[in-house]
Amino acid sequence: MAQKLDKVDVVVVGSGWAGGIIAAELAKAGRKVAVLERGKDQKRSDFIGVKDELRYSYRHEMMEKINGETITSRVSIDDVALPVRLLNEVNTGTGLGGGSMHWAGSVYRWRPYDFEIRSKTVERYGESKIPEGMTIQDWGITYDELEPYYAKWELMAGISGEPDPLGDNRSIDYPNPPMTASPAIKLFKEAAKELGLHPYQMASANMSQQYTNPDGETLNQCMFCAFCTMYGCDFGAKADPLQTVIPTAVKTGNCDIMTNALVRRVLHENGKATGVLFTDTKTGQEFELPADVVVLGAFTFSNNRLLLLSEIGKPYDPKTRTGVIGRNFTGQFNSTFLGATGFFEEKKFNYYLGAGGLGGALSDYDADQFDHSDLDFIHGGGIELRQYGDGAIKNNFVPNGTPTWGEEFKEKSLHYAYRTLTVWYSAAVMPWWHNYLSLDPTYTDEYGDPLIRVTNKLTEQDKNIAKFGIEKCTEIMEAMGADIIDQDELPDQFDHSYSGMHYIGGVTMGEDPEISAVNNYSQMWDMDNLFVVGGSSFPHFSSHHPTPTIAALAYRAAEGVEKFLTEGGQLVEPKKVNA
């Protein structure tokens, strides 16, 4: 029998950027907050001196182990889904700070077009531009409404950057100057300018200088050690929850954090959430934690699964195309993250120095920045040359056609070790009626609960936008002077790999409860004291990484939770809009 704990004002599930921001803001406001993190406790000192590519990049030290729980995957709604069993094919973060601990640190605001994508597409091109079966929708919030929350996060996280020349309205400058451009990035920018494009130094959550944020938390200057993506930063030079919002929340004395706490149900009665049921994964003991407000701030898969297991909201049914929970699943798959790799004979680059957010970028082909009238896709993508810092094990580029072993392979591996650069196109991914999340009818986790099932099929939209991006990346690589250029190949169909870590949807935001699960405060239409925060609320995936938008919406959700605790009721009036 579950042991009942003392009631709190707010229980937050997950301790990444979404959950961490909620906890910090409400604890600062004097609310009693409990944060439940399924993974282990960890602190900054755990990462000091750990520069182990085999342990982190290949054995996935910071990722959730999938022997007790994973996802199942299929392409079509009539297929039988099978569990994903390889760690390199499903990466979801775990531990205090969540997936936000091992993120790279690249920072992009999404475009005004994104938040009103359906109405703006129809306004410019007409209804016929949207293909049959594509389920894009407006978010119920505009860029201008969200902009102050973007700004608040950038100040808190100490973002280093310079404005995009083709960017949108900003109320503040970035709090830190941009990262130093390396020779490779300079070459990219020069080539892009020669083509009439508008490159700039991408914004980064890696610090260009030491910085103290408005909450009094200090972040240190980046050392360009190159161990960002898949790693925790041992210098405290990458903005993450463990360096910022988590200590801010704890210092108030109003926030308790419980790790190894797997939330298995949202408890509810008479249309109200009453708390959560969780299991201590070390002891197996079950606990019931009552709360006035429940906030789900976990990863997309977990937020959707918890709602479905708790029987909250109407599950999406692809056959009738009704219901909302699980609808509009998308993400940044390998098939939408393609470009061109150049091999140079005369130029050499120290590509083993780097940082997760060190790079050059351009947005000329992003969103609706360019005319799509004669193109067979909508939206676009951002182009980058990123200097992550190549690991000696993971990166071993040779031109296409080179044998994968033997004398020629060794010779070319050594020759091109410092002579290889990649430019890629990060394409937006649109939602479709046949791509969704549901509970698997066959497979369960170690506690007997159904796994989350992913149904995802590549479409002509996906292939067409990727082909466009590869062509643009190739043009830039040619202008950079590469002697050999290898283009990424378009896949025939989805390969069941979820290694990109950026997956969204299923609890989508909008104005119409018929096609959305939460309003623009991330408050559930069906349960007003339940808020669902994170990428799960995004109706589609834009052209760049989702972290800043997750964070901005988390700040707005925190404001909404406080408003609800004071006033009660639905914070936004629902509307009926076109599906």
Indicate which residues carry an active-site annotation: 502
Q: Which residues contact 215 (CB under 8 A, 6 or more apart)?
A: 24, 156, 244, 245, 248
Alpha-carbon gap, residue 7 to 26, rounded angstroms: 16
Q: What are phi and psi of 112, to 5 degrees?
A: -55, -35
Alpha-carbon gap, residue 204 to 198, rounded angstroms: 18
Per residue in 514-530, is it b (16+ CB within 10 Å) or e — as a string? ebbbbbbbbbbbbbbbb
Three-state secondary structure call for residue 256: strand
CB-neighbour burial class of residue 214 (10 A; exposed 0-12, middle 13-18, buried 19+) = exposed
Alpha-carbon gap, residue 568 to 141, rounded angstroms: 21
CB-neighbour burial class of residue 171 (10 A; exposed 0-12, middle 13-18, buried 19+) = exposed
Chain centroid to CA 390 = 22
Instruction: Report DSSP letters for 491-522, one per residue.
Output: PSS----BTT--EEEES-B-S-TTT-SB-TTS
Alpha-carbon gap, residue 255 to 251, rounded angstroms: 8
Alpha-carbon gap, residue 332 to 428, rounded angstroms: 8
Q: How many CB atoms lie within 10 A of CB 87?
A: 18
Q: What is the CB-side half-sphere exposure of residue 383 using CA atoms within 13 A?
A: 29
Alpha-carbon gap, residue 542 to 519, rounded angstroms: 19
Q: For 415-433, what is the HEC assignment?
A: HCCCCEEEEEEEECECCEC
Q: In the block, which residue shows the tokens 């925790």?
A: 232
Alpha-carbon gap, residue 358 to 361, rounded angstroms: 10
User: What tokens does 63 get?
Assistant: 């990722």
Instruction: Report DSSP letters for 280-348, one per residue.
Output: ETTT--EEEEEEEEEEE-S-HHHHHHHHHHTT-SPBPBTTTTB--BTEEEEE--GGGEEEEEEE-SS--
User: What tokens does 65 get?
Assistant: 């182990």
What sections of 419-499 are H helices per DSSP?
460-480
Amino acid at 166: L
